[in-house]
Amino acid sequence: MSDGPELIVCRCEEVVVREVLDAVRAGCRTLQEVKMATRAGMGPCQGRVCRTLLERLVTLEAAPPEGAAGLTKRLPVHPVPLGQLVEEE
């Protein structure tokens, strides 16, 4: 990874490898903590594209505590227009 510090790892929020590594060096130990520091994984894809890459980067660089989960998976499974989510009368 050292040859590509400016590679974009999270396209939605335009987070590059260097920013992820900086967050780890600043003390982040899990992907959830890196997300908090960098917004990686917070765009429309919610990590569906970048999750694996991010998890690998953080695992290699931060040695996360045993059992520390990666990014949580939440609803919705893909972006949905609000108008389709309203209560039925």
Partner 1 sequence: MSEPRRLTLLKLGPDAGPEAALAAAAAYDELEAAFAGSVRSSARSGRGRLVVVGGGIVGLMSAYFASVRGYRVRLVERLSPGGAASGRNGGGVLVLGHTLDDVPFNRLSLRLWAELARAGVASELTVSGHVMLAFSEQEAETLRGAGELYLAAGLPVEWLDSSEVRRLLPHVTAEQRGGLRCPVDAQAYPFRAVSSLLSRLRDGRAELITHTRVTGFRVEGSRVRAVITEAGDVEADAVLLCAGPWSAEVGAMLGLPLAISPRRSQILVTERVATRVVHPFVTGNSIYLRQTHAGNLMYGGGGTWESQSFDTSSTTTAIARLTTRFLEVFPAFRGVQLIRAFAGTVDLTPDARPLLGRADGWENVCVAAGFSGHGFGWSAAAGAIAAACVARALGHEEPAAGVSRLLEPLAPCRHAPAARPQVRGG
- For the chain, how long is the longest CA-to-CA vector? 57
Taking the complex as a whole, how short is the minimal distance between the CB of residue 29 and partner 1, in angstroms?
A: 7
| Residue (52 or 72) nearer to partner 1, CB | 72
- Name 63's Cβ contacts closer than 8 Å, sequence gap at least 6: 29
What residues make contact with partner 1 under the rule CB under 8 A?
26-27, 29-30, 32-33, 35-37, 39, 43-44, 46, 65, 68, 72, 74-76, 79-83, 85-88
Taking the complex as a whole, how short is the minimal distance between the CB of residue 66 and partner 1, in angstroms?
A: 9
Please tell me the distance from the alpha carbon of residue 17 to that of residue 10, in angstroms, as a whole number.
Answer: 9
